[in-house]
């Protein structure tokens, strides 16, 4: 391709051009004014004047010829292929993703003359896409839950370099953004950001026969013991007749069957119905709630019939039940510490009188005593407590025995338990071989229930490194006060950690635990086999730290019991979403100072107790650590990780098959058409790709030459001659 054009001499500024033109016009005007009433051969004067003006202008501007040689290249076309996990939904015997990739391939071929760039979009970022590679991986892990076309178009608009002449979007139309309710004006605004028509290729227009949980909304924050409303939208698509759809919300717990929180029925009048369930989560921390529907017959996508939601349940106040078998200085110290903490809602019951005591009263009205509401506390109100502290209370004498199974279930269900020592605690209180023993971190052996000898407990290696005791060790290092007597505790259970041990007494093959922590099901428990921690609050020993050691110890114990992250040696999180069937990773962040081997045990939430995965990493390098969990099935999981000898840290998470991406399986061809229309593009089906208009190629200059029409002296000579002729003509007319 060669093009020729006229131009001015190189280096002549535009201002000069305007000045010459202005001067020429002024001269012409003056000449016309002179000749307005003249008769005779004024035509020669005018003609010679015009010629002189033109030649003078040419002498100044020196016109040149510009020759351009160039090439024609194809227009830039960007093909955006939806990379959301939603496209793994089945369609026409394949997946929508496969249809989309094949359509993208067809688009590339259709625009063979253009420069086609294939990109994938999901959460907004754009990634290069190779169709053959993508087809080879049926369900790649990099697919996203979102389908953000708005974000992708904005990212494209902000890219430097050549703008595309056309954009082709390949999707089913169920975008996260732009939403279904976005108006045409905002769609036009979105299209204007890229400045090119957006053509659409709809991979499918056929909605599957599917009942699904379309969305779950919560109102307000999830706070322990407070009702939380779940607004659940159920959808029925593809002509499936749903009628009434039962909906159930269950909490997934470790070691036990899922606990039914609420249930209801969605009555379908059209394609959707909404049901509101009120649930109350009793335990704080990360809680998994499974919401499921019972779909009608003919449902073709079972994966979106249940969702597993993760709630981070907070506490308004920590609600503790403190039950003591008799008032002592130890009870006093604990009560005063608990009462001093404004964040604790304390319910306390102390046994102040037994049937054997002689109060020297004629009637009970002389006493300020109330009956111990043991049945009410351990049946009706038990779930409302975050933790229970049993301090030196005889389970037999005070009729606790019959409630121990419920108390054990309470712990397995996520409650906290601290058993504080004394003559009537542990085996001395009738807890040996009771259901509660199984949730304590230690076994309760036979023999004498307690020993009366003074002793100073010894820190174990775990005790020295455990964040739960850091407050205490910062005050007194390894030093502890002398305790008077100790309960007889058995060996620590598997997965339990001993923090203090007896220097002389033995339990099994090792030293007897004095302070031990353990997990049971969803809950945690602590065994403290002494009744003298008040010596950390009030004693000559305590005086050295002004009594602060007591608060340091109990802050740690109660904090650990309630899974306060400050008292965990590790922080666990998923490195990306957990999609059933795809490899998942867990990221472990160790606290400074937490060293040693890292071990991980992964258990499925529910009645099964066998771990699905156990791993140990020997002395890993400092810094975050990522552990491969492999491909997990749908469900809730509990990861328990431990670094060195420190107590384990637990992290619950869910794996879903479809997750939010599959919640609405219907394609949205209407939204696709509106986007195309707003940008003056076209919307076609995958079979009509060949109907998409191909943008014109772009001409690109390759060589340019600049040749003056005449040399400058020739223009000057011609202008001089023309001015001379004009002078002669004017003389003849008497105009000088």
Partner 1 sequence: MAGRLSRRLALTVPLSLLSASSRAFAFGDGAAFHPRLLRAGTRQILGLRTSGAGRWSWELVRRTSAPARLVPSEVAADQSSLQAEPFVIWAGDDDPGPLSAAEVRGLTRFIRLGGVLVVDDSQPDSGAFGRGALRELSRVLPESAPVRLDPSHVIFKTFYIVDRPVGRVLGPPEIRAIVRGKNAQVIFLQHDLLGALARSGERFALATEPGGVEQREHAIRLAVNIAMYVLCSDYKDDQVHAPFLMRRRARQKP
Q: With CA atoms as reference, report the closest residue to 101 among 121, 82, 122.
A: 82
Of the ranges 5-13, 159-167, 201-209, 324-332, which one interacts with partner 1 (CB under 8 A)?
Answer: 324-332
- Give 428: exposed, middle or buried? Use CB within 10 Å, 0-12, 13-18, 19+: buried
DSSP strand pairing (244-252 vs 483-487) = unpaired
Give the three-state DSSP class for 728: helix
| Count of positions on this chain that bind partner 1 (CB under 8 A) | 58
- For residues 427 to 466, the per-residue mask of contacts with partner 1, x marking binding by CB under 8 A and - elsewhere, is -----------------------xxx-x------------
Based on the shown chain and the rule CB under 8 A, indicate whether residue 325 belongs to the binding site for partner 1.
yes
Of the ranges 145-153, 308-316, 340-348, 614-622, which one interacts with partner 1 (CB under 8 A)?
Answer: 340-348
Closest contact distance (angstroms) between CB of 365 and partner 1 is 5
- For residues 510 to 549, the per-residue mask of contacts with partner 1, x marking binding by CB under 8 A and - elsewhere, is ---------------------xx-xx-xxxx-xx--xx--
Is 390 or 582 the residue whose CB approaches partner 1 more closely? Answer: 390
Is 95 or 397 the residue whose CB approaches partner 1 more closely? Answer: 397
Closest contact distance (angstroms) between CB of 480 and partner 1 is 14
Is 211 or 389 the residue whose CB approaches partner 1 more closely? Answer: 389
Within 8 A by CB and 6+ apart from 504, the residues are: 453, 455
Closest contact distance (angstroms) between CB of 414 and partner 1 is 24
Name which position in 48, 486, 663, 679 contacts partner 1 (CB under 8 A).
486
In this structure, are residues 655 and 252 in contact, taking their beta carbons and an 8 Å threshold? no
Q: With CA atoms as reference, report the closest residue to 415 among 319, 499, 348, 489.
A: 319
Instruction: Please state, in angstroms and rounded to a whole number, the distance separating the CA atoms of residues 259 and 256.
Output: 8
Nearest 10 degrees: CA dihedral of 667, 669, 674, 679? 100
C-beta neighbour count of 454 within 10 angstroms = 11
Name which position in 7, 16, 328, 599 contacts partner 1 (CB under 8 A).
328
Closest contact distance (angstroms) between CB of 493 and partner 1 is 24
| Cis peptide bond N-terminal to 178, omega within 30 | yes
Structure tokens at 563: 């899974």
Structure tokens at 168: 């082709």
Closest contact distance (angstroms) between CB of 379 and partner 1 is 16
CA neighbours closer than 13 Å in the CB half-sphere of residue 115:
11
Closest contact distance (angstroms) between CB of 481 and partner 1 is 10
Name which position in 44, 259, 329, 476 contacts partner 1 (CB under 8 A).
329
Name which position in 3, 22, 73, 336 contacts partner 1 (CB under 8 A).
336
Instruction: Please state, in angstroms and rounded to a whole number, the distance separating the CA atoms of residues 384 and 82.
Output: 47
Of the ranges 24-32, 347-355, 437-445, 627-635, which one interacts with partner 1 (CB under 8 A)?
Answer: 347-355
DSSP per-residue letters across 598-663: EEEEEEESBS--SEEEEEEESSPPSS-EEEEEEEPPSEEEEEEEEETTSPPEEEEEEEBSSGGGGS
Instruction: Please state, in angstroms and rounded to a whole number, the distance separating the CA atoms of residues 723 and 732.
Output: 14
Instruction: Please state, in angstroms and rounded to a whole number, the distance separating the CA atoms of residues 732 and 736.
Output: 9
Instruction: Please state, in angstroms and rounded to a whole number, the distance separating the CA atoms of residues 646 and 497.
Output: 8
Closest contact distance (angstroms) between CB of 334 and partner 1 is 10
Partners of 291 in beta bridges: 249, 307
Structure tokens at 90: 């089945």
Within 8 A by CB and 6+ apart from 416, the residues are: 386, 387, 388, 523, 524, 525, 526, 558, 561, 562
Instruction: Please state, in angstroms and rounded to a whole number, the distance separating the CA atoms of residues 309 and 184.
Output: 34
Closest contact distance (angstroms) between CB of 494 and partner 1 is 29
Name which position in 67, 206, 231, 354 contacts partner 1 (CB under 8 A).
354
Partners of 346 in beta bridges: 320
Of the ranges 266-274, 344-352, 635-643, 715-723, which one interacts with partner 1 (CB under 8 A)?
Answer: 344-352
Closest contact distance (angstroms) between CB of 429 and partner 1 is 12
Site for partner 1, residues 554 to 583, rule: CB under 8 A: none
For residue 410, the surrounding DSSP H or E stretch is: helix 404-412
Name which position in 32, 327, 405, 630 contacts partner 1 (CB under 8 A).
327
Site for partner 1, residues 363 to 402, rule: CB under 8 A: 365-370, 392
Closest contact distance (angstroms) between CB of 330 and partner 1 is 4
Name which position in 263, 310, 361, 690 contacts partner 1 (CB under 8 A).
361
Closest contact distance (angstroms) between CB of 400 and partner 1 is 15
Instruction: Please state, in angstroms and rounded to a whole number, the distance separating the CA atoms of residues 280 and 412.
Output: 17
Name which position in 485, 606, 611, 620 contacts partner 1 (CB under 8 A).
485
Is 256 or 352 the residue whose CB approaches partner 1 more closely? Answer: 352
For residue 455, the surrounding DSSP H or E stretch is: strand 450-455
**DSSP E strands, 680-731:** 683-685, 698-708
Based on the shown chain and the rule CB under 8 A, indicate whether residue 613 belongs to the binding site for partner 1.
no
Based on the shown chain and the rule CB under 8 A, indicate whether residue 320 belongs to the binding site for partner 1.
no
Let me know how long the chain is. 736
Is 148 or 386 the residue whose CB approaches partner 1 more closely? Answer: 386
Instruction: Please state, in angstroms and rounded to a whole number, the distance separating the CA atoms of residues 315 and 541.
Output: 35
Closest contact distance (angstroms) between CB of 421 and partner 1 is 8
Of the ranges 120-128, 248-256, 341-349, 577-585, which one interacts with partner 1 (CB under 8 A)?
Answer: 341-349
Closest contact distance (angstroms) between CB of 486 and partner 1 is 7
Query: What secondary structure, in 3-state letters, does 305-340 show?
Result: HEEEEEEEEECCCEEEEEEECCCCHHHHHHHHHHHH
- For residues 683 to 712, the per-residue mask of contacts with partner 1, x marking binding by CB under 8 A and - elsewhere, is ------------------------------
Closest contact distance (angstroms) between CB of 428 and partner 1 is 9
Instruction: Please state, in angstroms and rounded to a whole number, the distance separating the CA atoms of residues 217 and 232.
Output: 6
Interface residues with partner 1 (CB under 8 A) are 325-332, 335-336, 339, 346-361, 365-370, 392, 422-423, 450-452, 454, 482-487, 531-532, 534-535, 537-540, 542-543, 546-547
């Amino acid at each position: 391709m060669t093009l020729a054009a006229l131009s001015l001499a190189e280096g002549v500024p535009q201002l000069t051009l305007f000045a010459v033109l202005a001067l020429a016009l002024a001269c012409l005007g003056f000449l016309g004014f002179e000749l307005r009433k003249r008769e005779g051969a004024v035509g020669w004067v005018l003609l010679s004047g015009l010629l002189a003006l033109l030649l003078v202008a040419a002498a100044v501007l020196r016109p040149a010829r510009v020759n351009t040689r160039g090439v024609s290249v194809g227009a830039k076309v960007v093909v955006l292929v939806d990379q959301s996990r939603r496209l793994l939904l089945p369609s026409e015997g394949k997946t929508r993703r496969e249809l989309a990739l094949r359509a993208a391939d067809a688009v590339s071929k259709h625009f063979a003359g253009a420069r086609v760039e294939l990109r994938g979009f999901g959460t907004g970022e754009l990634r290069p896409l190779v169709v053959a590679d993508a087809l080879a991986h049926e369900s790649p892990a990099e697919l996203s839950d979102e389908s953000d076309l708005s974000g992708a178009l904005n990212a494209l608009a902000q890219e430097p370099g050549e703008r595309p002449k056309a954009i082709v979007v390949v999707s089913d139309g169920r975008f996260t953004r732009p939403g279904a309710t976005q108006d045409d004006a905002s769609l036009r605004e979105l299209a204007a950001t890229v400045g090119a028509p957006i053509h659409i290729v709809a991979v499918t227009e056929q909605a599957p026969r599917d009942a699904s949980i379309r969305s779950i909304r919560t109102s307000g924050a999830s706070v322990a013991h407070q009702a939380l409303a779940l607004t659940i939208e159920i959808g029925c698509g593809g002509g499936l007749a749903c009628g009434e759809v039962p909906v159930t919300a269950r909490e997934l717990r470790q070691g036990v069957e899922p606990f039914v929180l609420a249930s209801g029925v969605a009555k379908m009048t059209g394609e959707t119905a909404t049901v509101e369930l009120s649930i109350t989560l009793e335990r704080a921390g990360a809680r998994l709630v499974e919401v499921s529907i019972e779909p009608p017959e003919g449902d073709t996508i079972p994966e979106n019939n249940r969702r597993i939601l993760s709630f981070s349940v907070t506490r308004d106040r920590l609600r503790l039940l403190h039950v003591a078998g008799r008032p002592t200085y130890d009870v006093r110290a604990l009560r005063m510490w608990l009462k001093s903490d404004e964040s604790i809602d304390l319910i306390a019951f102390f046994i102040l009188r037994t049937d054997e005591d002689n109060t020297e009263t004629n009637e009970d009205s002389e006493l300020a005593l109330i009956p111990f509401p043991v049945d009410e506390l351990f049946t009706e109100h038990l779930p409302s407590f975050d933790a229970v502290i049993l301090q030196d209370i005889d389970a037999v004498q005070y009729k606790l025995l019959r409630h121990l199974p419920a108390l054990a279930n309470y712990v397995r269900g996520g409650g906290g338990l601290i058993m504080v020592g004394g003559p009537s605690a542990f085996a001395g209180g009738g807890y040996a071989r009771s259901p509660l023993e199984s949730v304590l971190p230690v076994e309760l052996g036979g023999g004498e229930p307690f020993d009366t000898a003074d002793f100073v407990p010894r820190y174990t290696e775990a005790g020295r490194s455990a964040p739960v005791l850091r407050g205490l060790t910062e005050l007194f290092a390894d030093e502890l006060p002398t305790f008077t007597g100790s309960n007889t505790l058995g060996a620590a259970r598997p997965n339990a950690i001993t923090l203090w041990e007896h220097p002389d007494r033995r339990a099994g093959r090792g030293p007897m635990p004095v302070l031990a922590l353990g997990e049971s099901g969803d809950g945690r428990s602590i065994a403290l086999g002494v009744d003298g921690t008040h010596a950390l609050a009030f004693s000559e020993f305590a005086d050295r730290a002004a009594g602060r050691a007591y608060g340091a110890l109990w802050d740690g114990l109660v904090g650990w019991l309630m899974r306060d992250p400050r008292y965990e040696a590790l922080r666990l999180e998923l490195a990306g979403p957990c999609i059933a069937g795809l490899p998942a990773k867990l990221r472990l962040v160790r606290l400074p100072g937490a060293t040693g081997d890292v071990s991980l045990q992964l258990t499925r939430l529910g009645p099964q107790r066998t771990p699905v995965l156990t791993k140990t990493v020997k002395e890993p390098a400092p810094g975050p650590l990522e552990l491969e969990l492999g491909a997990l099935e749908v469900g809730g999981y509990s990861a328990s990780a431990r670094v060195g000898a420190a107590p384990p840290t637990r992290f619950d998470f869910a794996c879903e098959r479809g997750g939010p991406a599959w919640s609405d399986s219907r394609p949205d061809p209407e939204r696709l058409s509106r986007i195309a229309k707003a940008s003056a593009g076209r919307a076609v089906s995958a079979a009509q790709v060949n109907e998409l208009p191909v943008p014109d190629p772009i001409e690109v200059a390759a060589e340019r030459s600049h040749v003056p029409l005449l040399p400058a002296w020739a223009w000057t000579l011609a202008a001089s001659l023309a001015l001379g002729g004009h002078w002669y003509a004017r003389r003849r007319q008497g105009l000088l």
